[in-house]
Amino acid sequence: MMSPYIFSFLLIISLISCNSLKNHSKMTNQKEQSEKDGPQILEPKVIGIGGIFFFSDNPKETREWYHKNLGLVVNDYGSTFEFRNADRPEELNYLQWSPFKTGTDYFKPSTKEFMVNYRVQNIEGLVSKLKENGIKILDDIATYDYGKFVHILDADGNKIELWEPVVKDPANALKNTTK
């Protein structure tokens, strides 16, 4: 059984993400405006998908099947999909696809067979908003060199992982990704 923070660490090793154009434009405009008016706060919201995790009776065989039959580049944790920002092609984004051993505790308290990781901006503001809306927050925001994480439950009892990535230098792009 893998702890949520260890998996998150391993996930982020596989994920280097930057914000979408809309967020980049907003950040650029806010940066320019902040030079005039002081710092601006980004709207707390989801900005993309960071990962898709699901149960598998045999994750190793599942990874191998997807590699052999669908051409995914796989590692011990799944496959990292690489894509570029359409408006800033030098910016790489990543999505982690990972089969987990059926029954893992990592998805608890959800009883569902999947979990989605969403990339967010302003995680502190988003958690505050979620608390105001009565949403169940499962843990405190955890901060690492590669970003911040928190887990919540949606209206259907699905555990959701929220991740505010640290913007990385595109020169440090991952190797061996599914493109």
User: Is 175 a domain residue?
Assistant: no
CA dist 154 and 85 (Å) reads 28
Which CATH number do you get for residue 130?
A: 3.10.180.10
pLDDT digits (tens, 9 = 90+) for 21-69: 344 444 444 445 444 555 678 899 998 899 999 999 999 999 999 999 9
Cα torsion angle, 168, 172, 175, 178, sign: positive
Q: Are 99 and 51 in contact (CB under 8 A)?
A: no
Instruction: List the structure tokens of 108.
Output: 């608890």
What pLDDT is stored for residue 20 in this prediction?
A: 38
User: Is 179 a domain residue?
Assistant: no
Instruction: List the structure tokens of 56.
Output: 């598998």
Q: Is 30 exposed, middle or buried (0-12, 13-18, 19+ CB in 10 A)?
A: middle
User: Is 154 a domain residue?
Assistant: yes
Phi-psi region of 50 (alpha: psi -120 to 50; beta: other; left: phi over 0): alpha
User: Is 174 a domain residue?
Assistant: no
**pLDDT at residue 13 above 90?**
no
Mean pLDDT, residues 93-120 taken together: 94
For residue 21, what is the enclosing H or E element? helix 21-37
User: Is 16 a domain residue?
Assistant: yes
> Which residue type occupies 42?
L
CA dist 167 and 147 (Å) reads 9
- First-to-last alpha carbon distance for the chain, in angstroms, is 30
Q: Is 69 exposed, middle or buried (0-12, 13-18, 19+ CB in 10 A)?
A: exposed
pLDDT digits (tens, 9 = 90+) for 119-145: 998 999 999 999 999 999 999 999 988
**pLDDT at residue 101 above 60?**
yes
pTM for the full model?
0.72
What pLDDT is stored for residue 36 in this prediction?
A: 55
- Structural domain tally of the chain? 1
Mean pLDDT of the chain: 80
What pLDDT is stored for residue 11 in this prediction?
A: 47
**pLDDT at residue 109 above 80?**
yes
User: Is 177 a domain residue?
Assistant: no
> Which residue type occupies 109?
P
